[in-house]
């Protein structure tokens, strides 16, 4: 399923080759559809790990692998970041307020 997208390839490079995954990473996207697509692809790449999608009301989700997508409340996603239960968070501008980024060691920007 993973498309050959240059920006997704860049995110993948940093997560794997530069070892950002170990520190945790938040990837920002201006658009919800893009953020959702990136989260799905990252969930496919890291099937054993939780991948969060932090978006506007009713659009946030939690992924584990390609087939397991569950709606999630933003408060629950915040808690997972705080507890370091997830290493990857993909977010829209909804994360500009209220998400404690200190637990995720690296940031990426994908438009």
Residue-wise pLDDT for 30-72, tens only, equals: 899 999 999 999 999 999 999 999 998 789 999 999 889 999 9
Q: How far apart are CA 63 and CA 39, in angstroms?
A: 8
Q: Percentage of residues in the chain with pLDDT exceeding 90?
A: 50
Q: How far apart are CA 53 and CA 59, in angstroms?
A: 8
- The C-alpha R_g of the chain, in whole angstroms, comes to 12
For residue 69, what is the enclosing H or E element? strand 68-71
Q: Which one has a higher pLDDT value, 95 or 85?
A: 85
- If pLDDT is split at 50, 70 and 90, which confidence band does 1 have? very low
- If pLDDT is split at 50, 70 and 90, which confidence band does 100 have? low
Provide the 10 A C-beta neighbour count for residue 48. Answer: 6
């Amino acid at each position: 399923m993973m498309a050959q997208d240059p920006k997704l390839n860049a995110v993948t490079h940093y997560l794997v080759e530069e070892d950002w995954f170990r520190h945790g990473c938040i990837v920002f996207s201006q658009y919800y559809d893009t953020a959702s697509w990136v989260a799905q692809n990252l969930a496919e790449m890291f099937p054993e790990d939780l991948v969060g999608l932090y978006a506007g009301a009713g659009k946030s989700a939690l992924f584990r692998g390609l087939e397991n997508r569950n709606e999630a409340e933003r408060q629950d996603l915040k808690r997972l970041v705080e507890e370091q239960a997830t290493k990857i968070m993909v977010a829209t501008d909804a994360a500009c307020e209220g998400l404690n980024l200190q637990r995720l060691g690296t940031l990426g920007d994908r438009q």
